[in-house]
Amino acid sequence: MRLASVVCVFLTAGATSAADLRPLSSAEFCGRCHRAIVDAWKTSVHAKAMESPLFQDGLELTESRFGPSARTVCLECHSPIAVLTNDTSLRQKVSWEGITCDYCHSLRDVSFSGKNPKAKVEFSLVKSGPIKDAEAPVHGTVFSPVHLTSAACAPCHEYRNSQGFPVLTTYSEWKNSRYAKSEKHCQSCHMYRVKGDVVDPKIHKSATAKVNLHQMPGSHSLEQLNSTIKARLSTSREGDSLKLTVVVSNVAAGHYVPTGSPMRQLLLDVRADSYDGKHFQEERRYARTVADQQGKTVDLEPLAFMSGARVVSDTRLAPDETRTETFSFPVPSGVKAQVRVELRYYYSPLATTEAQKQLTFLTLRRLVP
Ligand code: HEC
Ligand code: HEC
Ligand code: HEC
Ligand code: HEC
Ligand code: HEC
Residue 21 has pLDDT above 90, yes or no: no
Residue 207: per-residue pLDDT = 79
Ligand 2 pocket test: pick from 104, 139, 202 the residue with the most ligand atoms within 8 Å of its Cβ. Answer: 139
C-alpha distances in Å from residue 59, one per residue of 160, 239, 288? 18, 55, 22
Distance 45 CA to ligand 3 centre (A): 7
Residue 205: per-residue pLDDT = 84
The residue-averaged pLDDT of 63-73 equals 97
Q: How far apart, in whole angstroms, are the C-alpha atoms of residue 243 and residue 258?
A: 27
Interval 161-181: pLDDT, tens: 999 999 999 999 999 999 999
Q: Is 159 in the pocket of ligand 5 (CB under 6 A)?
A: yes
Residue 96: per-residue pLDDT = 98
Residue 252: per-residue pLDDT = 96
pLDDT band at 137 (very low <50, low <70, confident <90, very high): confident
The residue-averaged pLDDT of 34-51 equals 97
Report whether 193 contacts 213 (CB < 8 A). yes
Task: State the closest ligand 2 atom to the C-alpha of 204, by its place in the atom list counted from 1.
Answer: 12
Report whether 54 contacts 350 (CB < 8 A). yes
Cβ neighbours for 86, distance < 8 A, ≥ 6 positions apart: none
For residue 83, which ligand has an atom nearest its CA?
A: 3
pLDDT band at 1 (very low <50, low <70, confident <90, very high): very low
Buried-exposed string 74-110: b where 16+ CB fall within 10 A, e elsewhere:
bbbbbbbbbbbbebbeeeeebbbbbbbbbbbbbbeeb
Interval 77-86: pLDDT, tens: 999 999 999 9
Please tell me the residue having the least CA distance from ligand 4 atom 40: 186
Residue 157 has pLDDT above 90, yes or no: yes
Q: Is 305 in the pocket of ligand 5 (CB under 6 A)?
A: yes
Q: Is 49 in the pocket of ligand 5 (CB under 6 A)?
A: no
Residue 348: per-residue pLDDT = 94
The residue-averaged pLDDT of 242-251 equals 98
User: What is the overall mean pLDDT for the chain?
Assistant: 94
Q: How far apart, in whole angstroms, are the C-alpha atoms of residue 310 and residue 259?
A: 16
Residue 2 has pLDDT above 80, yes or no: no
The residue-averaged pLDDT of 329-351 equals 96
The residue-averaged pLDDT of 247-255 equals 98
Q: Is 258 in the pocket of ligand 4 (CB under 6 A)?
A: yes
The residue-averaged pLDDT of 227-239 equals 96
Q: How far apart, in whole angstroms, are the C-alpha atoms of residue 312 and residue 290?
A: 5
Residue 195 has pLDDT above 90, yes or no: yes
Interval 285-328: pLDDT, tens: 999 999 999 999 999 999 999 999 999 999 999 999 999 999 99
Residue 19: per-residue pLDDT = 65
